[in-house]
Amino acid sequence: MKFSWSLAGAAVARFLRSAVLLTYGVMALRLAGFVIVLPLALRTLPPEDVGFWYVLTTLGGLFSLAEVAFSPVISRRASYHHAGVETIPDLGLPVPAAVAAGPDLAGLAGLAQMAGRLYLRMAVGFGGLLAVTGWVWLEWKHPATFARPENRAAFLLFVAANIAGGAGQFWPALLFGVNRVHAYQRVFIGGLVANYVVALTGLLLGWGIVALVLGQVVLGIWPRWLAGRMFRAEFAIGAVTVPRVTRWHDVWPAAWRTGLANFGSFFSLQGTTLVCAQVLGLAVTASFSLSLQLAITLHSVAAAWLFVKNPEISARLARGELAPARELVRRRMALVLASYAVVAAGAWWGAEPLVRALGSKTPVLGAGAFALMLLVVGCDLFHGMHNTVLQTSNRLPHLWALVAGGVLTTVLGVVLAAKWGVPGLIAAPVLAQLPFTYWRTVRECWRVLRGGVGAAA
C-alpha cells in the first residue's frame, strides 16, 4: 500500500485536536509537579514535613469521598440528559425508546440547581467533620510535628480550601458529563499552572508547607468557578424558565452505592499511605508516598484513553447502542494497558536517577519494591477500568466486593507491614482483592456490555 502523506497528516491533526492529547497535557502538567514543585519541596522541607504534607492530601482524599459519591452520578445523569433522556431511573439504564432527539435542557437546568444546593451543604458539613477528626488524629499520632504553628495553620487553611472548593465541585462534573472534555481539561490546565506558580513562589519565599497548601487553594477553587461559567453560558441555564425538578434523593440510591464503592477503592490502594504512617512512621511514609503518587500518576496517564470516552459510553448505553459501546471499550482498554506498560517501564528505569539528580532528601523506593508497586498499581488499573465502565450503566452489582477489598487491604496492610515492612504493605492490595474483587468486577462489566441485566446493587 502506498504511503499517503495527506492521510498521515490528517491523522496527526486529528490527534492534536483530540481530548486524549489535551488530557495528556493535564497529565504532563501533573508530572511537571514532580520535576518543578516537588524537587524544591524535597530540598527545602525535612522528611517529616513531606510526610505531613502527604498525610494532609490523604485526609483531603477522605474528605472528597463524600463528594465523589455524588460527582459521578451527577456527571452520568448529565450524560443521559444530554443524550435526550428526560426520565432517569434511580438505578439502571433509561429505556432507549424514551430517548428524545436532542439534549434535555430542562433536565440539565434542574440537575445543576439541585447540585448547587447539595454541594454547599456537603462542603460545610464535611469540612467541619474533617477539621475536628483530622485535628484530633494529628494531635494524637504526630504531636511534635503538628505542634508547630505553621503546620497547624497549614491544616486549617487546607480545611478551608476543601470547603470553598467543594461547594463548586459539581460544575466540572456537569461539564464532563455533557461531553465537553476539551473544556473540562482546559479549566484544570489553568488551575494547575496557577497552583505551581503559587506553590513555587511560596517555597522560594520560605513559607514551607503553607506554600503547598496555598497552591491547593488555587487549584481547588479556580477550575470549579470557570467550569460553572462555561456550563451556564453554553446551555443557557438561566434562560430555562421551567427546569425539570431533580431532588437530591433521586440521585441518592446511586450516590450512596458509589460513595461506598469509592470508599472501598480508596482503601484498596491509596489508603495504604495512612497504614504506612501508622505502622512505619512519617520518614518511611515520605518515600512510600512519593513512589505511590508517581505510580498513581502513571495510572492516570494510561487511563486517559478510556476516561475521555466515559460520557460517550454512558450516552450509547442510554440509547441502547451496545455493539458500538463494546467495540469502543475494547479498543480503549487495549490502549490503556499498552500505555501503562510503556510508562511504568520508563519510570522503573528513570525515577531513582532523576530524584537523585534533583538532590531530593526523600528517595523513591528501591528497585525491587518500586517494581512490585508498579505491578500492583497495574492490577488496580486493570480492575479500575472495568469498574469505571460498569458504573456508566448506573449500576454497582459488585459493590460489596469492593468494600470487602478495601477492608481486607487495610487489615492485611497493617499485619504485613508490621511483619515484612514496605514490601508486605505493597503486596496487601493484590493479596486482599485477587480472590474475588478483581474477577467479579470484570465479569459484571462485560455482562452489561453484552446486554445482560444482573442484579442492581
Of 6-20, 25-39, 133-147, 178-192, give the lowest mean pLDDT range.
6-20
Q: What is the pLDDT of residues 357-366, one digit of tens each?
A: 777 778 888 8
Q: What is the pLDDT of residues 187-212, one digit of tens each?
A: 888 888 888 899 889 888 888 888 88
CB 259 within 8 A of CB 69: yes
pLDDT at 1 over 50: no
Average the pLDDT over 275-279 and give the result.
89
| pTM across the whole model | 0.75
Q: What is the pLDDT of residues 96-108, one digit of tens each?
A: 655 556 788 888 9
Grid coordinates representing 203 are: 517555597
| pLDDT at residue 438, as a whole number | 83
| pLDDT at residue 362, as a whole number | 80
Residues 6+ apart with CB under 8 A from 31: 297, 301
Dihedral sign (CA 166, 68, 260, 79): positive
Phi, psi of 362 (to 5 degrees): -115, 115
Pick 434 or 416 by higher pLDDT.
416
Q: Residue 4: pLDDT band by 50, 70, 90 thresholds? A: low
| pLDDT at residue 14, as a whole number | 60
The closest of 271, 292, 316, 296 to 408, measured between CA atoms, is: 271
- Mean pLDDT score of the chain: 84
Of 57-66, 192-201, 305-314, give the lowest mean pLDDT range.
57-66
Residues 6+ apart with CB under 8 A from 108: 78, 81, 82, 174, 178, 235, 237, 240
| pLDDT at residue 181, as a whole number | 84
The end-to-end CA distance of the chain, in Å, is: 52
| pLDDT at residue 62, as a whole number | 63
The rounded percent of the chain whose pLDDT value lies above 90 is 24
pLDDT at 456 over 50: no
Pick 30 or 449 by higher pLDDT.
449
Average the pLDDT over 234-247 and give the result.
78
Q: What is the pLDDT of residues 155-183, one digit of tens each?
A: 888 888 888 888 888 999 899 999 888 88
Grid coordinates representing 73 are: 452520578
Q: Is 99 helix (H, G, I), strand (E, B) or coil?
A: strand
pLDDT at 454 over 50: no
Q: Do you know the residue count of the chain?
A: 457
Phi, psi of 99 (to 5 degrees): -85, 130
Q: What is the pLDDT of residues 119-141, one digit of tens each?
A: 988 888 888 888 888 888 888 88
